[in-house]
Amino acid sequence: MKIVAAESLTGGLLADAFVRVPGASRVFLGSAVTYDIRAKASILGVDRGLLEREGAVHPEVARQMAASVAGLYGQPEYADRVIGLSTTGVAGPGPDGDKPAGLVYVGVRIPAAISPDGVPSVTAHELHLTGGREEVRRGAVFSLVQIVSHFTGDMQE
């Protein structure tokens, strides 16, 4: 199993969480930090119309980020075993328009090889995190690692 990430509000913290683990290179391929809304569209291919209508903090944006990054880093020899992860949200300290600080969406693309029903899926999970900017960012990483560990166990191949 391989893991890739597309990060916005976490700005590389998710990648850092993975590479801190010895042997991470066996599983973790990389992370694309697409903080700017234009980068989400140009690098990851997130729908520009969606970004213009809803902004970057939206469950469909998280899903598209997770699905796209899996293709961005996927290699033919393990394309069907790549877990794609994404983070997007409002770290704070204040709201972003009508979206409150602490509203985070994490996307998870689960390949058919590890899906319980054998069908690939892309989901978004809505989180409401509390604390300052750093607590929200770290909380997003912690939550996403917990979600993905459900599918990967100890992340050993």
pLDDT in tens, 57-68: 999 999 999 999
Give the whole-angstrom CA distance, residue 153 versus residue 157: 10
Mean pLDDT of all residues in 86-105? 98
DSSP state of 100: P
Fold of 2-152: Maf protein (3.90.950)
Characterize 16-53 residue by residue with b for buried, 16 or more Cβ atoms within 10 angstroms of its Cβ, and e for exposed. Answer: ebbeeeeeeeebbbebbbbeebebbbebbebeeebbee
> Cα-Cα-Cα-Cα dihedral of 70, 1, 25, 31, to 10°?
20
Give the whole-angstrom CA distance, residue 85 versus residue 116: 18
For residue 65, the surrounding DSSP H or E stretch is helix 59-73
pLDDT in tens, 22-48: 999 999 999 999 999 999 999 999 999
pLDDT value for 157: 39
Backbone φ/ψ region at 156: left (φ over 0), alpha (ψ -120 to 50), beta: beta
Indicate the pLDDT class of residue 74, thresholds 50, 70 and 90: low
Claim: this prediction has a pTM higher than 0.85 = yes
78 pLDDT exceeds 80?
A: no
Indicate the pLDDT class of residue 156, thresholds 50, 70 and 90: very low
Higher pLDDT, 157 or 74: 74
3-state secondary structure 4-46: EEEECCCCCHHHHHHHCCCCHHHCEEEEEECCCHHHHHHCCCC
pLDDT value for 115: 82
Give the whole-angstrom CA distance, residue 36 versus residue 138: 19
Indicate the pLDDT class of residue 155, thresholds 50, 70 and 90: very low
pLDDT value for 73: 78
Which of 9-23, 26-40, 42-56, 112-126 bottoms out in mean pLDDT, i.e. has the lowest? 112-126
114 pLDDT exceeds 90?
A: no
Closest CA to 104 of 82, 121, 85: 85
